[in-house]
Amino acid sequence: MGAFFDRLDHLREDQLLALRAAWHASGRQEHEGAWTAVRAVGARDGLTGEIDRVRNKALAWTTRSSNSIPYLNNVDRAWHELKMEAGEAIVDAALAIALGGRLDEGARSVLMEPWLRATEGVE
């Protein structure tokens, strides 16, 4: 997980844009099924707290240096807004990595696909 969170700090704007676009292009029903699988793994393996921790850590990255700070310049505001807009895809990838083999391959693939497409397969 450490490598994933380190990788977040090196994402470029084009990668965040691609991440957001790929996540929005994924099928809603497939995505809901993947999240059902995440919750099932959490309940089955007693990992609900860990899932929440990983989710919160990923969301914290997206909101760090919030765009609500009034002295940010326009470039900073755009960057922070883009991070927040890519947040759902970042949470999905973080959970897919954290759960690893506990998650069935289909659900893991749905959660990871936007990340892999945006980052050229680098985890």
- The number of distinct structural domains making up the chain is 1
Q: Are 41 and 102 in contact (CB under 8 A)?
A: yes
Q: Is residue 4 part of a domain?
A: no
Q: Is residue 11 part of a domain?
A: no
Q: Is residue 86 part of a domain?
A: yes
Q: Please give the biggest Cα pair distance in the chain.
A: 46
Q: Which domain holds residue 96?
A: 16-119
Q: Is residue 68 part of a domain?
A: yes
List, for residues 23-63, the tens digit of each pLDDT value. Answer: 999 888 999 999 999 999 999 999 999 999 999 999 998 88
Question: What CA–CA distance (Å, rounded) separates 116 from 19?
Answer: 9
Q: Is residue 9 part of a domain?
A: no
Dig out the tokens for 72 from the structure. 């940010």
Predicted TM-score (pTM) of the model is: 0.85
List, for residues 87-111, the tens digit of each pLDDT value. Answer: 999 999 999 999 999 999 999 999 9
Q: Is residue 6 part of a domain?
A: no
Q: Is residue 51 part of a domain?
A: yes
